Amino acid sequence: MKKNNIKLMQGNEACVEGAIAAGMRFYGGYPITPSTEIAEGSAQKLPRVGGKFIQMEDEIGGIAATIGAALTGVKAMTATSGPGFSLKQENIGYAAMAEIPCVIVNVQRHGPSTGLPTSPSQGDVMQAKWGTHGDHPVIALSPSSVKETFDLTIRCFNLAEKYRTPVILLLDEIVGHMREGIAIPDTSELEIIDRKKPSQDDKDYLAYKVEEGEYVAPMAGFGDGFRYHVTGLVHDESGFPTNSNAVADKLCTRLMKKIEDNIDDIVTYEELYMEDAEVVVLSYGGTARSAKSAVKKAREKGLKVGMFRPITIWPFPEKQIKEIADKVKGIIVAELNYGQLVLEVERVVKGSSDIFHIGKVDGDIITPDEILSKIEEVI
């Protein structure tokens, strides 16, 4: 790695760098704080690599343009925050149903509604899972550092391309606006996944025909010489709508199974001091930084405390949480909201361990000392 590739940059800037390294060549969006630097960076850098940037009339137009670009075969991204994420929900569902790979970045800020525009929050965790209607697959990753933002942005594109699905990078304002020095690897060192395309000789190409034992069909780009229909309605292998109950069941089950049956490939996490932990702090994103500091302070006091950080928020790392719950007295969930992912932990643990929550909804961060006080209260 070249020494001069070490740069001081913001999380939002690292997102742009990662996206371009992953092959992003289209950005469609509408600026909204605290995600605006992603739009600005994309506008500046995409033309240098032959890509396109377009500012749309609003957030709905932003994701619609992103979906349209993805259908032409390019890797496409949009970014937003708070109210903009709400507006994009219908088209996230459309992309899930039509199996259009794209990346949606949500730099979470305080809400509801317009809330505190530049104050941090992790209040969109459940919206990322349930924001659009119907049963649909969801992949959402949450970085806790600037370097990890670079890495996970690339991974979002890889997962989107591999599974033909929209993928959400669930940033928060803490990480989005934080500056750290990071080493930018040469693109030759990166694993980049591109969508599987049909053979040009495939005269019988069907855009949604999945071979036996597989979950994802090859995807032709508009202009590649193939014709197919794209709709948010239940559709057959050609893409045309149908009211067949059998087709609906087969399609919707496959959409879910392509994620559920590949959880081990999708879920990543970090553990710290777990070997002898009696109490575990579970935290993610920017708040995990406070949690890690608190756990280290607790260890200095001789307290047997560990930490678990889900990097993949959705699908939820159920297997790992169950294993932890069977070994420890309690799990403290630290998150910057009124209590969201803690509900998922309670659902998975099913009473095999005590669950505690520390949250905040005043627009300020949760400090290490506040988490340490909670640890000392629980242990």
Which tens digits make up the pLDDT trace of 158-207?
999 999 999 999 999 999 999 999 999 998 999 999 999 999 888 899 99
For the ranges 142-146, 210-214, 275-279, 370-374, the lowest mean pLDDT is seen at: 210-214
pLDDT of the residue at 200: 81
Q: Do residues 137 and 252 make contact, with C-beta atoms less than 8 angstroms apart?
A: no
Residue 222 lies in a domain: no
135 lies in some domain:
yes
| Domain contains 205 | no
pLDDT score of 282: 98
Burial class for 180, CB neighbours closer than 10 Å (0-12, 13-18, 19+)? middle
Q: Which of 171, 189, 207 is the last residue of a domain?
A: 189
Summarize the confidence of residues 100-109 as an average pLDDT.
98
Does 42 share its domain with 173? yes
Choose one of 170, 189, 208: the last residue of a domain: 189
348, part of any domain: yes
Structure tokens that stand for 334 in this block: 């630290």
| Residues 68 and 178 grouped into a single domain | yes
CATH of the domain at 90: 3.40.50.970
Query: Are 60 and 91 within 8 A, CB to CB?
Result: yes
Neighbours of 248 (CB within 10 A): 14
335 lies in which domain range?
A: 269-378
> Could you write out the three-class secondary structure of the chain?
CCHHHEEEEEHHHHHHHHHHHHCEEEEEECCCCCCHHHHHHHHHHHHHHCCEEEECCCHHHHHHHHHHHHHCCCEEEEEECCHHHHHCHHHHHHHHHHCCCEEEEEEEECCCCCCCCCCECCCCHHHHHHCCCCCCCCEEECCCCHHHHHHHHHHHHHHHHHHCCEEEEEEEHHHHHCEEEEECCCHHHCCCCCCCCCCCCCCCCCCCCCCCCCCCCCCCCCCCCCCCCCCCCCECCCCCECCCHHHHHHHHHHHHHHHHCCHHHHCCEEEECCCCCCEEEEECCCHHHHHHHHHHHHHHCCCCEEEEEECEEECCCHHHHHHHHCCCCEEEEECCCCCCHHHHHHHHHCCCCEEEEECCCCCCCCCHHHHHHHHHHHC
Query: What CATH number does residue 303 fall under?
Result: 3.40.50.920
4 or 233, greater pLDDT: 233
pTM as predicted:
0.97
Backbone dihedral region of 363: left (phi > 0), alpha (psi from -120 to 50 degrees) or beta?
left
Query: Given a cut of 80, is residue 149 above it in pLDDT?
Result: yes
Crossing angle of helices 287-300 and 368-378, in 10° steps, is 50
Structure tokens, 283: 């935290």
Domain boundary among 189, 217, 249: 189
Average pLDDT, the chain: 97
> How far is residue 3's CA from residue 149's CA, in Å, rounded to a whole number?
20
Is the pLDDT reported for residue 86 higher than 60? yes
Both 61 and 168 in one domain: the answer is yes
Q: What is the pLDDT of residue 302?
A: 98
What mean pLDDT is predicted for residues 7-26? 98
Same domain, 41 and 153: yes
166 and 31 together in one domain:
yes
Q: Are residues 372 and 278 in the same domain?
A: yes
What mean pLDDT is predicted for residues 215-225? 95
- Note the pLDDT of residue 270: 98
Indicate if the pLDDT at residue 244 is higher than 90.
yes
Q: What is the pLDDT of residue 201?
A: 85
Residue 367 lies in a domain: yes
Q: Does residue 124 share a domain with residue 14?
A: yes
pLDDT at 2: 56
Residue 314 covered by a domain: yes
- Residues 287, 173, single domain; the answer is no
Q: How confident is the model at residue 44 (pLDDT cuts 50, 70, 90)?
A: very high
73 lies in some domain: yes
Residue 352 has pLDDT above 90, yes or no: yes
Structural domains counted in the chain? 2
Cα-Cα end-to-end distance for the chain: 44
pLDDT of residue 1: 52
